[in-house]
Amino acid sequence: LVDAKEKCLSVGMDDFLSKPFIESDLIEVLKKWMPQSFFENNLEVDNEGLINDELINERIYEKSDLNINPIIIDKINHFKKLMGNERLSDLLVKAIEEIPKYLYLLIESNKNINIEEMIRSVHSLKSMSANFSFTKMSVYCQDFESDLKNKKCKNIDERITELNNYCYELIRILQEVNR
Burial label, 102 (beta-carbon count in 10 A; 0-12, 13-18, 19+)? buried
CA torsion, ordered 3, 7, 10, 16, to nearest 10 deg: -80
Rounded Cα gap, residues 43 and 82, in angstroms:
6
User: Which tens digits make up the pLDDT trace of 74-84?
Assistant: 777 777 777 77
pLDDT digit string (tens) for the chain, length 179 residues: 668 888 888 888 878 888 777 767 777 777 777 666 555 555 555 555 555 444 433 333 333 334 456 666 777 777 777 777 787 788 888 888 999 999 999 999 999 999 999 999 999 999 988 887 778 888 899 999 999 999 887 889 999 999 998 888 888 888 877 77
Q: How far apart are CA 168 and CA 177, in angstroms?
A: 14
**At CB < 8 A and 24+ separation, what contacts does 130-133 make?**
130/20, 131/75, 131/95, 132/72, 132/75, 132/76, 132/95, 132/170, 132/173, 132/174, 133/69, 133/71, 133/72, 133/74, 133/75
